[in-house]
């Protein structure tokens, strides 16, 4: 295997995992992160079977289990108490489970495993790639390189993707988003379950146990409340009061968990993009993670897909072949899997976040019966665990 000079732009989950895999292969890495102090961004998430497999390959599986919270059950009901979602990992495989984890815990796991973490170029905002696709330029006009390979892992708002419009098939912002916060679990009785409550398609409340925080004691939950995008951006005291009233009406059991959320600033705002590229590769530049395929959080696959991208890229480069051939192998390997999840995410999102109230009736009437049919149930569990890698196989 040839030793390559590789630039990685972005130090989120995709960039961190790529740094680990590629450094272990002996490549010379230069990692760039626009934040002056790199850290986690985003709510707690559910690590699936696929993502756990990547962490196991990196030797981080046991540590992830120590920090996270095992999830065995996904349960969702509407405002009338009708079960909409009721899925158990054990129905997929007796040993299968998900892992609720905070972004901070994953960030620290991946950072501490990377021996060159202290040498990352921080506070450097890479804004473009030169014409021969071998050098990077930052916001001050400084040039870096040349590099044999550039890995663009700069997230859903990717600056590098925006400089290559010919690659982009679609990247609209979803009209709906969410506010979220980490809240102490206290004596919450459902620590093995992701719980959701729905009121039509306009309101969704969720609680995901995520284990330990990197900066606090105790066990924690991620609370999220779905809203139209303009309400997310303008979330204020009135919106906070309304949110608490709606939680009290729809899910009174969860209201005490919000006792410490006494100001709008204690809730984070989340907006999402639906990013699809014609291809993730151009020349010696490859896009991975949300920079290549950001999607709605409905399937909870964003971090898992980022980890799988990093693994697949390293595998493609692990051989004595030209870089362009390796990148073609990478793109072919990931195409089918990503297509399945991007399309399903796009189809499902209006059933949970939209102004189309009739879709809620369809969702509430159809999901539970489908989940009881053996064939449909098996496919739903494959989708949940991230293991459905093509439409027909």
Give residue 64's Cα distance to chain centre. 16
Query: Alpha carbon of 319 to those of 9, 27, 42, 151, 284: distances in Å?
Result: 23, 13, 35, 18, 16
Distance in angstroms (rounded) separating the CA atoms of residues 125 and 176: 28
Q: Which residue has the higher pLDDT, 113 or 373?
A: 113
DSSP structure string for 168-212: EEE-PEEEEEEEEEEEE-TT-S-TTEEEEEEETTTEEEEEEEEEE
Which helix (H) or strand (E) is 84 found in, with range? strand 83-88
pLDDT score at 1: 62
Burial class (CB in 10 A: 0-12, 13-18, 19+), 173: middle
Q: In the sheet that 73-78 helps form, which strands lie side by side, from edge to edge?
A: 83-88, 73-78, 193-199, 203-212, 219-228, 173-184, 268-273
DSSP 41-78: -S--EEE-HHHHHHHHHTT-HHHHHHHSEEE-EEEEEE
End-to-end, the C-alpha distance of the chain in Å comes to 32
Q: How confident is the model at residue 43 (pLDDT cuts 50, 70, 90)?
A: confident
Judged against a pLDDT cut of 70, whether residue 142 lies above it is answered with: yes
Q: Is pLDDT of 70 > 80?
A: yes
d(CA 202, CA 352) in angstroms, rounded, equals 7
| pLDDT for 131 | 82
Q: What gap in Å lies between CA 71 and CA 242, rounded to an integer?
A: 30
CB distance 180 to 226 below 8 Å: no
Q: What is the pLDDT of residue 40?
A: 84
* Average pLDDT value for residue range 187-203: 95
Place 41 in a pLDDT band, splitting at 50, 70 and 90: confident
Average pLDDT of span 348-352: 92
Average pLDDT for 100-104: 95
SS3 121: strand
Query: Domains along the chain?
Result: 5-71+102-172+273-353+374-385 (3.50.50.60)
pLDDT at position 393 over 70:
no
| pLDDT at 392 > cutoff 70 | yes
pLDDT band at 344 (very low <50, low <70, confident <90, very high): very high
Residue 77 β-bridge partners: 83, 197
Average predicted confidence (pLDDT) for the chain:
94
pLDDT (0 to 100) of residue 372: 87
Q: What are phi and psi of 367, to 5 degrees?
A: -60, -50
The band of 247, judged by pLDDT with boundaries at 50, 70 and 90, is: very high
Per-residue confidence (pLDDT) for residue 16, from 0 to 100: 98
């Amino acid at each position: 295997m040839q030793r390559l000079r590789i630039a990685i732009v972005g130090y989120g989950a995709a960039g961190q995992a790529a740094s680990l895999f590629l450094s272990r292969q002996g490549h010379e890495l230069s990692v760039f992160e626009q934040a002056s102090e790199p850290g986690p961004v985003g709510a707690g998430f559910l690590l699936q079977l696929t993502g756990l497999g990547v962490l196991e390959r990196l030797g981080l599986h046991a540590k992830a289990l120590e920090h996270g919270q095992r999830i065995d059950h996904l349960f969702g009901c509407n405002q009338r108490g009708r079960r909409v979602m009721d899925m158990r990992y054990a129905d997929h495989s007796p040993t299968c489970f998900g892992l609720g984890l905070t972004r901070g815990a994953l960030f620290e796991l991946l950072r501490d495993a990377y021996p060159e973490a202290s040498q990352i170029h921080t506070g450097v905002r890479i804004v473009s790639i030169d014409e021969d696709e071998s050098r990077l330029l930052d916001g001050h006009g400084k040039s870096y390189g040349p590099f044999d390979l550039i890995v663009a892992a700069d997230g859903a708002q990717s600056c590098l993707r925006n400089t290559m419009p010919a690659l982009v098939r679609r990247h609209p912002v979803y009209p709906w988003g969410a506010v979220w916060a980490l809240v102490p679990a206290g004596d919450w009785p459902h620590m093995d379950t992701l719980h959701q409550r729905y009121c039509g398609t306009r309101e969704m409340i969720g609680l995901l146990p995520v284990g330990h925080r990197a900066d606090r004691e105790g066990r924690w939950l991620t609370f999220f409340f779905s809203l139209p995008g303009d309400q997310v951006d303008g979330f204020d005291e009135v919106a906070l009061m309304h949110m608490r009233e709606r939680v009290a009406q729809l899910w009174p059991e969860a209201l005490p968990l919000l006792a410490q959320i006494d100001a709008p600033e204690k809730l984070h705002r989340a907006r999402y993009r639906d990013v699809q590229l014609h291809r993730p590769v151009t020349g010696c530049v490859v896009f991975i993670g949300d920079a290549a395929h950001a999607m709605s959080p409905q399937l909870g696959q964003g971090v898992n897909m980022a980890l799988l991208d990093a693994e697949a890229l390293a595998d493609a480069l692990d051989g004595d072949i030209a870089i362009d051939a390796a990148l073609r192998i990478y793109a072919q390997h990931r195409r089918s899997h990503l297509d399945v999840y991007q399309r399903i995410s796009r189809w499902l999102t209006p059933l949970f976040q939209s102004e189309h109230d009739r879709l809620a009736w369809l969702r509430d009437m159809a999901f539970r019966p489908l989940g009881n049919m053996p064939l449909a149930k098996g496919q739903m569990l494959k989708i949940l665990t991230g293991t459905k890698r093509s439409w027909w196989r």
